Amino acid sequence: MSVDKNSIVDAVDPNGPWKFDGDVARVFDDMLQRSIPQYAVMRKSVFNLAVRFQQPNTTMLDLGCSRGEALAPLVDRFGADHHLGRDYRFIGVDVSEPMLAACNMRFKAGIEQGLVKISKFDLRTGYPLEQEEASVTLAVLVLQFTPIEHRLRILSDIYKSTVPGGVLILVEKVIGADALLDQTMVDLYYGMKRDNDYTESQIERKRLSLEGVLVPLTAKWNEEALRGAGFHSVDCFWRWMNFAGWVAVKDG
């Protein structure tokens, strides 16, 4: 999707608390490319890890699927394998109606074939998998928008719903280990945004709009939380300053 840069600026220049509304949904993928460092590298790494750990006849689940950017390459890669007797089910959940509408349109063919299911679900109220299990669960830049008091329970639910040998791929914005390092990484991150044509006013307004909405924690907290949920094999596969990604494997 090609989007005019002014439209992106309008969507990320809010006057109040951040919302995943229609304006944001319309320019979301372009906005992430300008706001997330090494965005293409991160996306490709998530896909490659998912491919490595997927298991036939299981679910691939995308928590906070937004417009389906993480789920789409997996549907393209494995969605046609049903004729080989290797069936997969692809599930994406989100709370944003505009994101869900875009996702439903994107996966229309897969939904009609019964391969893809896109639904509204709030992770604060429970977990979207009940009877089935997933070999791949994606949580890409989503837990950071979830109240802290729910995160340990969500990670525990993910672990319980993962097949042995399955994987959680978690990407989060993080804070530094101490005030000095955190400020250093934030400064460098804002420098990257300036390089991508964001003005000081836009950076500041975006920061204020996300206060209390996006609440990052330290990398150490995330790693300890993953192990506390039951994942013993945990490693960081990608990091750029105050953004990090982990792969967590459930013992076979």
Q: pLDDT band for 212, please (50, 70, 90 cuts).
A: confident
Q: Does 88 have pLDDT greater than 80?
A: yes
Confidence (pLDDT) at 5: 43
pLDDT (mean) for 172-190:
95
Least confident stretch, 1-10, 50-59, 60-69: 1-10
Secondary structure, 3-state, the chain: CCCCHHHHHHHCCCCCCCCCCHHHHHHHHHHHHHHCCCHHHHHHHHHHHHHHHCCCCEEEEEECCCCCCCCHHHHHHHHHHHHHCCCEEEEEEECCHHHHHHHHHHCHHHHHCCCEEEEECCCCCCCCCCCCCEEEEEEECCHHHCCHHHHHHHHHHHHHCEEEEEEEEEEEEEECCCHHHHHHHHHHHHHHHHHCCCCHHHHHHHHHHHCCCCCCEEHHHHHHHHHHHCCCEEEEEEEECCEEEEEEECCC
- Homologous superfamily (CATH) of 5-249 is Vaccinia Virus protein VP39 (3.40.50.150)
Confidence (pLDDT) at 246: 98
Average pLDDT, the chain: 89
Enumerate the domain spans of the chain: 5-249
- pTM, two decimals, is 0.89
Q: Does 62 have pLDDT greater than 90?
A: yes
